Structure 1
Amino acid sequence: MDFLSALERPPLVLGVDPRPELHGPKPLVHLRRYALELFEALAESLAAVKFQLAFFEALGPEGMALLFELASAARVMGLPVLFDGKRGDIGSTAEAYAEAYLDRFPGSALTVNPYLGLDALAPFFRAAMRSGGAVFVLVKTSNPGSGFLQDLAVEGRPLYLHLAEALAREGEALREGPWSRVGMVVGATYPEAVRAVRDVAPHAPLLLPGVGAQGGSPLKGKGLLLAASRALFYPGGRPDLEGAQEAAKGLLSALVE
C-alpha cells in the first residue's frame, strides 16, 4: 500500500483519540472491539485512519500494543494509516522516529514539527520516499493560539506561508504523479489559510484537522484530507457505530468549495 492512494478515496480521515473512561469496566477490550467494528463500518467513506499517538502512549505498554494492532488491522482492511505524533528532532533521533513510524509501517504517514528547521525534516522525507509513505508538516494548526508564531509577519507575509513555500520546494523532489510525499497540516478552522497554502503548494496533500467538534468546515478540493476525531469516533460523546456512520455521511454531503 502506498499512502498517496488515500488521495483517490473519499476525503474523510477518521481520527482515533481513545478515551478509556467511555468503554466500561474492561476499557481496552471494548475499545479494541469498537475500533475494529468502526473501521469496517466506515471503510468505504474514509481516506485514512489517523491515530493520535499521545492517547495510546498514555495507556502504557498495553496502549502501544493496541495501537500497532489497530494500525495493522486498518491496513488489512485497505485503509491507509497516519500516525499523528508531531515528531521532530535532529540527526539520529529524527532517523529513529522515521524508522519507527515510516520504515516499520511502509505506506503510512507521520505528522512532524518543523521548528528545528528543514535539515531536521530530511530523515522523515527520505523515509517517506523509500517506504511509499508521506510526511505531514505542521504549517498552520487548528488551535486558536496558532497565530502566536505561525502568523508572524515576515517580509509582509505570515510565517506559515514562507514555510509552506519552502516545503513545496522540498517536496518537488518527492513528487510521484500529481502529488508530493511532503504534505502539510493546515487547520480546517482557517479556510483562508487553506486556500493560501494551496496557492503556493499545488502538489502537496493537505491534512485539515478541526472538522466537526472544533467547528472547521468540511472543505472540498483535490488533495484535501479532512480529519475528524470526536465527531466520528465518539459521536454524541460516546461510542456509537450508527451515529458515526450518520456523521460520516453528513460531513461528506456537506463538502463546500
Structure 2
Amino acid sequence: MSCDFVLEIEGRPPLVLGVDPRPQLHTPEPIAAIRSYTLELIEALAERIAAVKFQAAFFEALGPEGFALMHELIAGARVMAVPVIVDAKRGDIGSTAEAYAQAYLEAYPGSALTVNPYLGEDAVEPFFRAAERSGGAVFVLVKTSNPGAGLFQDLLVGEKKLYQVVSEWLNQQAEHYRVGEWSRVGAVVGATYPEQVDELRSALPRSFLLLPGLGAQGGTPVKGAGVLNAASRSLYYPGGKPDVQAACSQADAYLKTLE
C-alpha cells in the first residue's frame, strides 16, 4: 500500500461512501451497531469506491464514545486499504491549524481532510504542509452543496464571484503541491450545482473535485477525470435503513451511470 492519497485514489471508481451515522437507526446498542455495520459496509464496497468520507459532526454528536469510534473506523478503513477523507471542515489560524492538521492528516498518513479557506492563506497553509509530509490531501471548500451557498460564495469581488476568486487562488496552490498529474490540493464543489462543477473542473485542472450532495440532496452523478462523487444517506442508508446488500446495489447503479 502506497500510503499516499493521490497515488491511491488514481484509478479507483469515482464514488465516495459518506458515513453520517444516525444512532436511532442502530438499536439497542448504537455505538456497537454503527461500528459493525460500517466496517462490514466498507469491506463490501471496497472495490466499488474511491474513498470513504467520515462526517465528523455525526460522530462528535455521539459524545466521547462516538469521537473514539470515528478514529477506530478511520483506522479500520486504512487497514482495508480504502482511502479516507475526514469531512471536518476545519479552518483556524497558527498553532490551532497545525494541531488540527496533526490530528487528522499526520495521525493517518495517506488520508485527506476538508478545510474552510475563509480565515485566509495562513490558516490553510499548515494543512497543505501537513498533507505533503504525510502523503495526504486537502479538500478546500469552494462551492458547497447547500441551498444557501450563494449568499456569500456568489458575492461579486470586482467582476468575479467570490468562489471564483477562491478557485483561482486554489489553482496556484494546487500547482505547488502536485504529485504527477494531480495535486494534494483538491476542492469541494456541490454536485447540486452541475454548471459550476463543469466550470471549476476547467478552472482547477490539477485538483480532485469532491462532489457532495449525490442522492438525498438532489445531486446526480458527474462524469469526468478527477471527479469524486460523494453519496452519504443514499449509499450508507439505502432505503432509509442500514442494509449492506442494498448499498452494494445502489453503488452499482451509481457506477453504471458513470461508465
TM-score (norm 2): 0.97
How far apart, in 1, do the equivalents of 2:11 and 2:113 lie? 19
User: How many percent identity over aligned positions?
Assistant: 64
Aligned to 2:125: 122
Aligned to 2:138: 135
Aligned to 1:71: 74
- Aligned to 2:149, the other structure's residue is in SS state helix
Q: 1:62 aligns with which of 61, 65, 78?
A: 65
- Aligned to 2:50, the other structure's residue is in SS state strand
RMSD of aligned alpha carbons: 0.9
How far apart, in 1, do the equivalents of 2:17 and 2:194 lie? 20
Aligned to 1:40: 43
Q: 1:110 aligns with which of 108, 113, 120?
A: 113
Q: 1:165 aligns with which of 156, 163, 168?
A: 168
- Aligned to 2:46, the other structure's residue is in SS state helix
- Aligned to 1:74, the other structure's residue is in SS state helix
1:12 has 2:12 as partner: no
Aligned to 2:4: 2
User: Displacement, 1:60?
Assistant: 1.2
> Could you give the per-residue CA deviations for residues 75-124 of structure 1, whole angstroms, max 9, x where no partner exists?
11110010000000000000000000001111000000011011210000
Aligned to 2:198: 195
Tell me if structure 2 keeps the 8 A contact 1:7–1:225: no
1:27 has 2:43 as partner: no
Letter of the aligned partner of 1:252 in structure 2? L
How far apart, in 2, do the equivalents of 1:243 and 1:7 lie? 26
1:51 has 2:67 as partner: no
How far apart, in 2, do the equivalents of 1:148 and 1:120 lie? 22
- Aligned to 2:219, the other structure's residue is in SS state coil
TM-score (norm 1): 0.98
How far apart, in 2, do the equivalents of 1:155 and 1:217 lie? 32
> Could you give the per-residue CA deviations for residues 195-217 of structure 1, whole angstroms, max 9, x where no partner exists?
11111110011000001111111
User: Displacement, 1:171?
Assistant: 1.5
**Unmatched segments (≥5 aa) in structure 1:** none
Aligned pair count?
256
Tell me if structure 2 keeps the 8 A contact 1:135–1:182: yes
How far apart, in 2, do the equivalents of 1:31 and 1:171 lie? 36
1:94 has 2:97 as partner: yes
How far apart, in 2, do the equivalents of 1:255 and 1:10 lie? 9
- Aligned to 1:209, the other structure's residue is in SS state strand
Aligned to 1:225: 228
Greater than 3 Å deviation, 4+ residue runs: none
User: Displacement, 1:154?
Assistant: 2.0
Tell me if structure 2 keeps the 8 A contact 1:161–1:196: no
